[in-house]
Amino acid sequence: MDSIRIQGGICLQGKARIQGSKNASLPVLAATLLVGEGSYIGNCPRIADVHSMVSLLKSLGCAVYWQETGIVVDSSNVGKREMPKEAVRGMRSSLCLLGALLGRCGEVIMEYPGGCVIGERPIDLHMSALAQMGVEFTQTDGKIRAAANSLHGACIDLPFPSVGATENIILAGVAAEGETILTGAAREPEILTLSRFLCRCGACIEGAGSSRVVIHGGKRLYGADFWVPADRIVAGTYLFGCIGAGGNVFLEHAPAEEMEAVLLTAEQMGGHVCVSEEGIYVQAPGRPFPVDLVTAPYPGFPTDLQSAVLAAEARGMGCTHIEETIFENRFRIVEDLRKMGACIEQSDARHVTVQGVETLRGARLTAGELRGGAALVAAGVMAQGASFVGGCSYIYRGYENICRDFRELGARVTSV
């Protein structure tokens, strides 16, 4: 079931329930390591990355099992400090276990996570921040050993608001002795979610969600129940799918309060967006209006939705410029969109110009990464005729069931 077949060209109409957030559930699951008791994390999406995180937690000694609506993690018996190679290589977000395990055991041995298809993704910001908190890094046999005799608070200024580094600093800071003052922190909603979970467990964190976070470390933590919010990126994927295909859809539980820049862009593209407590209603009259889009750290437009806008604007009514400022290799779907008849000029690694065409046509496509792959499925929904997307295991890393969701929105999409 690695491929998806789409019979496109139909206006969307319907309602889809938005799954729990991948980027919020992963650091929250990592944080359960710090607790040393049982926690229940509800609304975890059943996606490949969460399954990988569950395996990793088990390999470290946690008792972990799924319940109908979430995951129970008991971290009373964490013994191992070495993370299995495949898990670290396969999932960048296993990196948030670095801060959590350091906080719990004072030592971590792991492979260097390495680059990935959307860009280099170094970990220098994580390492220099943790070094300021007393962590020493040594390298042996291609592995990194991180160890702290006494993890202590520090004043850390991040030169770039890295989401993962901010999470690691918070996770280590909660366990450290004394106060950590972090400036230049990432402001993504997932940071706030992680802090809310930790505070529910007894931690004291101020300012999460702003660029200055203060962590009063060393508090005794207890297990807690927690509910993961809905996934703003999954909601945005279907939102721009609707803007590109036309139609009316309701995205149940979509977290509108975390999607200001996304909803603004959707409106600039001609969508009518109506927000209620239950979710987001979108009405898209026809081909999208062109926009100038620049991705940026939150509250700017998320890089994870750049390819969804690119796909929709491939059939826009004019000329769209997109600048990608976060990752250096995030226009991998351009070649596949061209196969569908899209007219896209890529001037360098970070800039494309899209001259919208009236009709995209179905084609054989290949997902090369998670968000780009989902955008190709959306493009197939917008195009006339049949499309076939291969390599969909990337998509299943982040989407519980993209075929079911698009079907509920009226599209003809099946996994084959």
The catalytic site residues sit at: 116
Binding mask of the shown chain, residues 380 to 399, with x at each position contacting ligand UD1 by CB under 6 A = --------------------
Site for ligand UD1 in 296-355 (CB under 6 A): 302-304, 326-327
Distance of closest approach, residue 348 Cβ to ligand UD1, in angstroms: 16
Residue 165 found at the interface with ligand UD1 (CB under 6 A): yes
Q: How many residues bind ligand UD1 (CB under 6 A)?
A: 24
Q: How near is the Cβ of 25 to ligand UD1 at its closest, in Å? A: 9
Q: Tell me the closest approach of the beta carbon of residue 114 to ligand UD1, in angstroms.
A: 12
R_g of the chain computed on alpha carbons: 21
| Binding residues among 220-239 for ligand UD1 as defined by CB under 6 A | none
Q: Does 366 bind ligand UD1 (CB under 6 A)?
A: no
26 binds ligand UD1 per the rule CB under 6 A: yes
Asked if 122 interacts with ligand UD1 (CB under 6 A), we say yes
H or E, element range at 231: none
The stretches of 294-401 forming alpha helices (DSSP H) are 306-313, 334-339, 370-382, 393-396
Chain centre to alpha carbon of residue 213: 21
Query: How far is 380 from 204, CA to CA, in rounded Å?
Result: 47
User: Helices 370-382 & 306-313, crossing angle to 10 degrees?
Assistant: 20
Q: For ligand UD1, which is the closer residue by CB, 7 or 55?
A: 55
Amino acid letter at 345? Answer: E
Contact string 169-208 vs ligand UD1 (x = CB under 6 A): -----------------x---x------------------
Cβ nearer to ligand UD1, comparing 124 with 278? 124
Q: Between residues 160 and 222, which has the closer beta carbon with respect to ligand UD1? A: 160
Task: Tell me if 124 contacts ligand UD1 by CB under 6 A.
Answer: yes
What are the contacts of 190-195 at 24+ separation with CB within 8 A?
Answer: 190/21, 190/23, 190/24, 190/27, 190/163, 191/163, 191/166, 191/167, 193/21, 193/24, 193/27, 193/28, 193/228, 193/229, 194/24, 194/27, 194/28, 194/31, 194/167, 194/170, 195/170
Q: Which two tokens stand for residue 10?
A: 């139909």
With a CB cutoff of 8 Å and minimum separation 6, the contacts of 96 are 26, 27, 30, 164, 167, 168, 171
Of 153 and 189, the one with the shorter C-beta distance to ligand UD1 is: 189
Best CA proximity match to 38, nearest among 16, 6, 67: 67
Structure tokens at 356: 């919208």
Q: Which residue is nearest to ligand UD1 (CB)?
A: 164
Provide the 10 A C-beta neighbour count for residue 122. 13
Q: Does residue 120 touch ligand UD1 according to CB under 6 A?
A: yes
Determine which residue in the list 126, 232, 350, 397 makes contact with ligand UD1, applying CB under 6 A: 126
Q: Is 125 in the site for ligand UD1 (CB under 6 A)?
A: yes
Binding site for ligand UD1 (CB under 6 A): 23, 26, 92-93, 119-126, 160, 162-165, 186, 190, 302-304, 326-327
